[in-house]
Amino acid sequence: MTEPLKSPSNLLGFDFGTKSIGVATGQMITATAQPLSAIKANDGIPNWDIVEKVIRDWMPDLIVVGLPLNMDGSEQPITQRAKKFANRLNGRFGVKVALQDERLTTASAKEFIFTHGGYKALEKGKIDSVSAALILESWMENFYQ
């Protein structure tokens, strides 16, 4: 008899970028996610001590990293960098990592923030973290399908 697929209960999501990496936390009970503070990056390299602190604080069962793809599903130059970031998270911290298609999440995040706070609320770090929350929620929706 095969074991049923165990649902991770506590999740972290990352929206990889070269200047800013959005971060969100989520949980499977309600299949919702909340943006956290974005982490500054220098050419895609974050301060790994900050990443470690976030992982220690939230103790995720799974980390979901957004996979940037073109609208036709093909890879773009940043796609490989996001995959490398995901591999580093797994290698450094021993946490399982999944990739999630992130097409249109930045546009959706901007729309959400603008609707709830107007033009002045459209800060880069906030957009990235709301994008990370949308990536997580998208992964959770796909998990149950």
User: pLDDT digit string (tens) for 32-82?
Assistant: 899 999 999 999 999 999 999 999 999 999 999 999 888 788 888 899 999
Nearest alpha-carbon partner for 43 in 70, 77, 76: 77
Q: What is the CATH number of the domain that holds 54?
A: 3.30.420.140
User: Is position 1 within any domain?
Assistant: no
User: pLDDT digit string (tens) for 9-19?
Assistant: 899 999 999 99
User: What's the domain range around 88?
Assistant: 10-143
User: Is position 2 within any domain?
Assistant: no
Helices 48-58, 77-93: axis angle to 10 degrees equals 60
| Whether residue 25 has pLDDT greater than 50 | yes
| Whether residue 129 has pLDDT greater than 70 | yes
User: Is position 3 within any domain?
Assistant: no
User: Is position 56 within any domain?
Assistant: yes
Residue for token pair 């095969």 = 2
To the nearest whole percent, how much of the chain has pLDDT over 70? Answer: 78
Global pTM?
A: 0.82
Helices 105-117, 124-143: axis angle to 10 degrees equals 120
Nearest alpha-carbon partner for 141 in 33, 25, 65: 33
